[in-house]
Amino acid sequence: MAGSDLVSGGRLRREADPAGSALRGIRPWPVLPRLGAMSTLEVRDLTRTFGDLRAVDGVSFAARDGMLTGFVGSNGAGKTSTMRMMMGVLAITSGEVLLDGAPVTRADRRTFGYMPEERGLYPKQPALDQLVYLARLRGIPAAQARTEAMDHLERLGLGERAKDHVEKLSLGNQQRVQITAALMGRPRALILDEPFSGLDPSAVDDMVDLLREHTARGVPVLFSSHQLDLVERLCERLVILRGGRVVADGTPADLQSTGTVRHRLVLGGDAGWVRGVPGVHAVDVDGTTALVELVDDAAAQRLLASALERGTVHELSPVRPSLAQIYREVTS
């Protein structure tokens, strides 16, 4: 079907990243050729005010094809409002949402998979029935919806429970049904608000596997999360929001390189003396180990020379900041 559509869209067009240019010295993500439905979902200067409050204040970023983009920020940072505006559920005060460079339409959004926050399902309807219903609302034929829903449920180990009322399923299983609802009908983009909250690690792995299948066919996935370790492990790209503004946007490695790099020094004897070395800021000294920040390379040489003068040096190595540390730096 519709083969002629495939190249006419903006899908294969690659422009300089307009959102990225505004961001802090982050390299553009390398564009890899891919097969399948590739699209980039982008927001530009998105703003939403509630009375005097600017809940979302000129937010720009892009969720690229085939990538898991993590959306991080504290409560009230504007993540949910941004995602709701992207899905057309919340009216936009100003700014725009673009799919492959063109303003996103209602017809486009019908093909997006969406998981709202604080979500639920119809408690008194069988899981299979409501998956089929939600899929049919999006225009997927009944028979196909049924097959696809059963496939998903079986994969998630819920094949036997497909006809059970949702209220009889555990919370984790209900969440599996919810994500299935978002993944039905091969969505062109996925916008997931806290998809992993309340899930045990194995359920997280199940879901990540599913999401990877979608990124593999070129679908952009944007998900918000409070679990920074998870975001660090999963995401190819990360957008951090604070007070309605984007404060960081890039790959985890990019962000880590922009964070303050520290060094660990492990000596044969007591390390207390490092506090007196010029150009060296001792963050923490514990017996023979010191965690230091160095103003420049010369300071590093001075530190090492002094250490060798005093005895054995077991280790002097850079310590990559964790994402949690970067998050604290950019949001404080």
Amino acid sitting at position 201? P
Q: Which residues bind another protein (CB under 8 A)?
A: 1-3, 5-6, 8-11, 36-37, 39, 84, 87-91, 99-103, 105-112, 114, 116-125, 133-134, 136-141, 144, 181-182, 185-186, 188, 217
Nearer to another protein, 207 or 265 (CB): 207
Could you tell me how far CA 326 lies from the centroid of its own chain? 15
Consecutive H or E run containing 233? helix 228-234
Give me the least distance between CB of 30 and another protein, in Å please.
22
Q: Which two tokens stand for residue 58?
A: 């000129």
Read off the tokens for 175: 């969440």
Is the Cβ of residue 8 or residue 75 nearer to another protein in the bound state?
8
- Our CB check for another protein shows the closer of 9 and 58 to be 9
94's CB contacts (< 8 A; 6+ apart) are: 45, 46, 47
Q: Output helix, strand, coil percentages for the chain, rounded to the nearest 5.
A: 35, 25, 35
Q: How far apart are CA 322 and CA 256, in angstroms?
A: 7
Minimum Å distance from CB 139 to another protein? Answer: 5
Q: How far is the CB of 331 from another protein (least distance, A)?
A: 24
Nearer to another protein, 81 or 300 (CB): 81
Per the DSSP assignment, residues forming a β-bridge with 192 are 115, 223
How many angstroms separate the CA atoms of 299 and 305, rounded? 10
Q: Residue 10 or residue 279: which is nearer to another protein going by CB?
A: 10
CB of 3 to another protein, least distance (A): 7
Q: How far is the CB of 265 from another protein (least distance, A)?
A: 52
